[in-house]
Amino acid sequence: MDKDKAAKRLDELREKINEHNYYYHVLDAPRISDTEFDQLMKELMELEERYPELITSDSPSVRIGSKPLTAFAEVEHTVPMLSLDNAFSEEDIAAFYRRLQKSLGIEQFEMVGELKIDGLAVSLYYEEGKFVRGATRGDGQRGEDITANLRTVWSLPLSLREKITAEVRGEVFMPRDGFVRLNKARQQEGLTFFANPRNAAAGSLRQLDPAVAAQRPLDFFAYTMINLSGDGSKSQWKILTNLKALGFKVNEHATLLNSLSDVLEYHQHISELRPQLSYDIDGVVFKVNELVCQEKAGYTSRAPRWAIAYKFMAEEGITRIRDIKVNVGRTGAITPLAELEPLLLSGSIIKRASLHNEDIIRGKDVMIGDTVVIHKAGEVIPEIIRVLPDKRSGREQLFIMPDQCPSCHKEVKRIPGEAALRCLNPACPAQAVERIIHFASRRGMDISGLGEALAAQLYHSGLVEDVGDLYALTLDKLAGLERMGEKSANNLLAALEQSKTNPLRRLLYALGIRFVGERTARLLAANFGSMSRLAAATYEEVIAIKDMGPQIAFSQQDFFQREETQIIIKKLKIAGVNFQEKREDVKESNLKGNRFVLTGTLQRYSREQAKEAIEQRGGQVLSSVSKNVDYLIAGEKAGSKLIKAKELGITVLKEEDLEKLLNG
């Protein structure tokens, strides 16, 4: 292909990819499968590699990350990014409303209610419809230039649907499920945890290496625009409408309000909705709708008088640390765990909280016996916020990290560049048990009935030394275990037999290769197709795959070269475990373009099996219910998601209905 034809094809590819990216990340309504999208990206990357002079600043290829920066440049905001005044009670909101009535000289006026996303505020500058610069809020007058990192956020448009020059402001955030996945991956790597999704989002955008930011699950909502082309909007509601038309993702829960009672009812509604959201919010923002009224209300030196943030009170609890123990993970990471006096918080009983590593313990000055304040980071993970030193009695004890592994009693070491202490003994019993648990997990080989207690019993009884031995279990061998009746034993053997048919990507994740999560396992399986090809792959072949860094390539090489790995692989092969990745063609799928949410307990499928079956047929499984969902699959004990689906008029199906859909 000559250069002119390449330039024309690149324009076509960029337009197609940007359009499909809009449907996937902004509208949550994909029009093509992931495989088809990946093929378009592959063709784009290959052409740009052949003709680097044809790469444009708005090419989708920039989303994978550019070269590392040495520092962030300073950016001066053309219009200051002011803070918002806060309200914490209905009385505060009523006083705010009365002040507006007085300053505007009218009794009633429209307001816009918007969710206060708990993320990082950013300013985006577009010239002739092209994204050219992005910055943090900073001190409101000056921020940091994080353009390279912002380009990696898929829901942030690099090209607008009109060629206007404008400044757009919004919030970059990390969804809760992405935050949990990120911290799990960091735990496997021996890295410190992010305290909450907001810190994770901010830390990701302030990475000097954009390739790191590109791997983080970031999202974006736009909430205001300054149109520098001259076509100004007359109201905040019109601004939100225009942002949608330009291709921005705007939060669907924004609404128009006509009175103080509407404002208070909206805050109550969002407060009740909050636990069902897939991202964190810390309040609701109320803005006067008409821009002429905003100008009349005016500003203080730090905040507009026409807007306010009605904050939620964070749910916290106070309890006491009974003890601090350490847990040995499957990669040998030694993690301190606070044993707490039980505390009811956000609807569940909290009995323990991870302290992550020694640096966290020292930084927060945590001692055994301390009274501490607890909350749930991201509404999910119990976290110790702070110690209450005035509650100390003098009987508290300093906790010292062990110098020996509590399981195998070998020396533990802190590897340079890592925060965690680590047991480096590959024969460590605790690691062996954790590897069995991980192998059998739902996202791994999904071996129903093989939980923590049974994994420990199988290992310590001598029946299972490594995961390869699981497939040599028999009814006679299991009969000698405590609390293992014939029915339970048969169920376990049936689950083991069923797991042999899992695709290669599940097996790779289950094997626990360091730095290889579900997405990486899927990429490795798709690119090599079989266990034998992957095991023989060179460092250069692995790193050549998009999104594969040196860390993963080195880890893959090390894993397959180990003698113990080769023994396990041989056992799995003899047992008849599937070593192939079946290439599914979903182009003619009957579920293509349909969006599903799963809730309740399913009987015929595990949650992971149902998700995989839907995705193999071109469907998409979402984590939360919204108007964009086509079907809710409701198992037993379905709760709030079922209620919301009915309110939105979403089709609700039982498990047997799902099976009919899967079978066409």
pTM: 0.50
Any long-range contacts for 180-186 (C-beta under 8 Å, 24+ apart)? 180/378, 180/380, 180/381, 181/217, 181/517, 182/216, 182/217, 183/381, 184/517, 185/515, 185/517
Q: So what's the pLDDT on residue 76? A: 86
DSSP one-letter string for 92-157: HHHHHHHHHHHHHT-S---EEEEEEESSEEEEEEEETTEEEEEEE-TTSSEEEB-HHHHTT-TTS-
Bridge partners of residue 189, in order along the sequence: none
The one-letter amino acid code at 31 reads R
Poorest-confidence range of 69-73, 255-259, 418-422, 584-588?
Answer: 584-588
Q: So what's the pLDDT on residue 47? A: 83
Q: So what's the pLDDT on residue 66? A: 53
Q: So what's the pLDDT on residue 587? A: 41
Structure confidence at residue 585 as a pLDDT band (50, 70, 90) = very low
Structure confidence at residue 194 as a pLDDT band (50, 70, 90) = confident
Q: Which helix (H) or strand (E) holds 610?
A: helix 607-616
Burial class of residue 366 (count of CB atoms within 10 Å of its CB; 0-12, 13-18, 19+): buried
Structure confidence at residue 506 as a pLDDT band (50, 70, 90) = very high
Count the alpha carbons within 13 Å of 372 in the hemisphere toward its beta carbon.
Answer: 32
Q: So what's the pLDDT on residue 522? A: 84
The average confidence (pLDDT) of the chain is 87
How many other CB atoms are found less than 10 A from the CB of residue 325? 13
Q: How far apart are CA 24 and CA 466, in angstroms?
A: 41
- Tell me how long the chain is: 664
Structure confidence at residue 143 as a pLDDT band (50, 70, 90) = confident
| Stretch 540-552: mean pLDDT | 84
Q: Is the pLDDT of residue 197 over 60?
A: yes
Q: Which helix (H) or strand (E) holds 36?
A: helix 34-50
Count of H-run helices and E-run strands, the chain: 24, 22
- More confident site: 61 or 438: 438
Q: Which helix (H) or strand (E) holds 310?
A: strand 307-311
Active site residue 116: yes
Structure confidence at residue 3 as a pLDDT band (50, 70, 90) = confident
Q: So what's the pLDDT on residue 70? A: 58
Q: Is the pLDDT of residue 346 over 70?
A: no
Poorest-confidence range of 116-125, 445-454, 635-644?
Answer: 635-644
Q: So what's the pLDDT on residue 338? A: 96
Catalytic option among 3, 5, 8, 116: 116
Q: So what's the pLDDT on residue 306? A: 96
Q: For the chain, give the percent of residues with pLDDT over 90.
A: 50
Q: How far apart are CA 596 and CA 610, in angstroms?
A: 10
Q: Is the pLDDT of residue 533 over 90?
A: yes
Q: So what's the pLDDT on residue 299? A: 86
Structure tokens, 436 = 């069995």
| Stretch 213-222: mean pLDDT | 90
Q: Is the pLDDT of residue 100 over 90?
A: yes
Q: So what's the pLDDT on residue 586? A: 39
Q: What is the per-residue pLDDT across 592-649, written as a single tens digit (0 to 9) for each?
A: 778 898 988 887 777 777 887 887 787 888 877 888 789 999 988 777 788 888 888 8
Q: So what's the pLDDT on residue 470? A: 97
| Stretch 489-498: mean pLDDT | 95
Poorest-confidence range of 260-274, 436-450, 612-626, 639-653?
Answer: 612-626
Q: How far apart are CA 95 and CA 87, in angstroms?
A: 10
Instruction: Domains for the chain: give ranges and CATH numbers.
Output: 3-55 (1.10.287.610), 86-311 (3.30.470.30), 316-421 (2.40.50.140), 429-575 (1.10.150.20), 595-662 (3.40.50.10190)
Structure tokens, 392 = 């100390």
Burial class of residue 238 (count of CB atoms within 10 Å of its CB; 0-12, 13-18, 19+): middle
Q: So what's the pLDDT on residue 415? A: 82
Q: What is the per-residue pLDDT across 16-53, written as a single tens digit (0 to 9) for each?
A: 887 877 776 566 566 777 667 767 877 887 888 788 88
| Stretch 139-144: mean pLDDT | 84
Q: What is the per-residue pLDDT across 551-577, written as a single tens digit (0 to 9) for each?
A: 889 999 999 999 999 999 999 999 999
Q: Is the pLDDT of residue 584 over 80?
A: no
| Angle subtended at Cα 604 by Cα 603 and Cα 606, rounded to the nearest 5 degrees | 80
Structure confidence at residue 379 as a pLDDT band (50, 70, 90) = very low
